[in-house]
Amino acid sequence: MRWIRDAGERHGITSLFIVDDDFFRSPAWEPILEGMAAYRRDGHELSFMMQVDAEAAAFGDLAPGERPSSQRQKCERFLRLAAEAGCYAAFVGFETFNPQNLLAVTKVQNLAKADRQRKDGVAAVAALEAVKEKYRRVCQNWHRHGVAVHCGYMIGFPFDGPECGRQSAEWLLDVGVDLASFFIVTPLPGTEDHDKAVREGTIADWDFNNYDSQHMVSHHPRMTTAQVVSAYRDAVRTFYSARSTLHALVSYPRRKDLAPAARDAMLRQRLYYFYSHGAGRHPMLGGIWQRGVSTEARRAVVTDEEARAHYLGAGLVSAEGVRVELLA
C-alpha cells in the first residue's frame, strides 16, 4: 500500500494492472484490497484490472437451506473487496473449453473435480458442458459485483480442430465474456513447453521474431499450420464481428451488471480491439497510430546466438562456451 499511495500522491498514477496470477491464493490479498478500498474511501482516485484464477469466482448458487462453505465465503469476500478496491475488470485465463486440452496442459483448476480424468463419449460431452457452465458462473459472479470479465484464450492446443476458433468465440459470447484476447499456443523459449518441443522435434520455425503468439511455430498433431492460423483468425472475426461489436457498444451503456468504470473501460477497449484487429495487429502489440513502422520490419535479434552477440558484444558463443567470430 505504501507503493500505491506513493504512486498516486507523488506521481499521479491512478490506474493499475495487477499481474500476479496467484493473487487469490496469496495470504496478502485481503490486507492489500482492504488498504486499496480504504485509500479510495479517503477520496483518492484508484482503479485497476487484475489477472485472476477462474476458481476465485466459480461458485454456484446455494441450494435452499444450504450453508456456504468456508471456501465460498473466501471467494465472495475476495470479489466484494476487489470491487470496493476499484477493480473494473478481471483478466481470467479460460484458455480453452476442451476438457482434454485442460488436462493436457494441467489447467485442472478450470475443470470440475469429477472431470479431472480423461472422459470419452457421453462423459466427454458432459465434461464440456460443465466447463461452459463453470465459465458462465465466473462471468455472472464478477458481473454481480460490477466487474467486467476479460478472458485470455488459446488456439492450437493438442485436441483442437479446424472449427475450434469460431466455435470457441461463440461460446465465449454465450457465457458472458466482455472482452477476449486470443493467442496461438506458442512454446516460448525458456519454458517446459519449448524444451519438450525441442526434444520431440516439433519446432517448425526457429525465427524468434515469430514467437509472438500470432504465428504457428510448432507442428500440431491434428492440424496443419494454415488450419491453426485460420482457426485463430476465425476466433477473432467471430468475437469481434461488426454485428457483435455493435451490439456490445449499444448495450454497454444500459448494462446494470457493470459499474460505470467497467462500462466505460469496456466501451473503449471493445472499440479499440475491433479497430486493432481490423488493422491487422494484435491489440496488445500496437496502439492506434504507428509512424514509420513497416509491417515487414524485422528485429535484429532472431536466435539465441544472435542475442548473445547483440547484447554481449562481437562474436558468438558456442554451446561449449567457445567464442567464435561473426562472418561478414
The pLDDT tens digits for 185-237 are: 999 988 899 999 999 999 999 888 889 999 999 999 999 999 999 999 999 99
- What distance in Å separates the CA atoms of residue 208 and residue 152, rounded to the nearest whole number? 22
- What pLDDT is attached to residue 236? 97
**Rounded (5°) CA angle 48-275-239:** 80
- What distance in Å separates the CA atoms of residue 60 and residue 311, rounded to the nearest whole number? 52
H-helix or E-strand spanning residue 209: none
**Phi, psi values for residue 287, rounded to 5°:** -95, -160
Q: How many Cβ atoms sit within 10 Å of the Cβ of residue 309?
A: 20
CB-based burial label for 79 (10 Å; 0-12, 13-18, 19+): buried
Is the separation of the CB atoms in 80 and 140 below 8 Å?
no
With a cut of 50, say whether residue 307 has pLDDT above it. yes
- What pLDDT is attached to residue 281? 85
- What distance in Å separates the CA atoms of residue 245 and residue 268, rounded to the nearest whole number? 11
According to CATH, where is 3.30.750.200 located in the chain? Answer: 2-291
- Percent of the chain residues topping a pLDDT of 70: 88
From residue 42, alpha-carbon distances to 35, 36, 37, 54 in Å are: 11, 10, 9, 31
Q: Could you please report the per-residue DSSP string of 92-111?
A: EEEE-S-HHHHHHTT-GGGS
Strand partners of residue 180: 151
Strand partners of residue 16: 48
The pLDDT tens digits for 49-103 are: 999 999 999 998 887 888 989 999 999 999 999 999 999 999 999 999 999 999 9
Spell 39-64 as b/e; 16+ CB within 10 A means b.
beeeeeebbbbbbbbbbbbbbeeeee
Closest listed residue to residue 294, CA positions, set 305, 314, 280, 274: 280
C-alpha cell recorded at residue 122: 457421453
CB-based burial label for 266 (10 Å; 0-12, 13-18, 19+): buried
With a cut of 90, say whether residue 109 has pLDDT above it. no
Residue type (1 letter), 85: A
Global confidence as pTM: 0.86
Q: Which residues contact 49 (CB under 8 A, 6 or more apart)?
A: 16, 17, 18, 87, 88, 89, 90, 91, 150, 265
Is the separation of the CB atoms in 271 and 249 below 8 Å?
yes
- What pLDDT is attached to residue 309? 67
What radius of gyration do the chain's Cα atoms show? Answer: 22
State the architecture of 2-291 in CATH terms. Answer: 2-Layer Sandwich (3.30)
- Higher-confidence residue of 218 and 325: namely 218
The pLDDT tens digits for 114-153 are: 777 776 777 888 889 999 999 999 999 999 999 999 999 9
For residue 318, what pLDDT band results from cuts at 50, 70 and 90? very low
- What distance in Å separates the CA atoms of residue 164 and residue 5, rounded to the nearest whole number? 45
H-helix or E-strand spanning residue 213: none
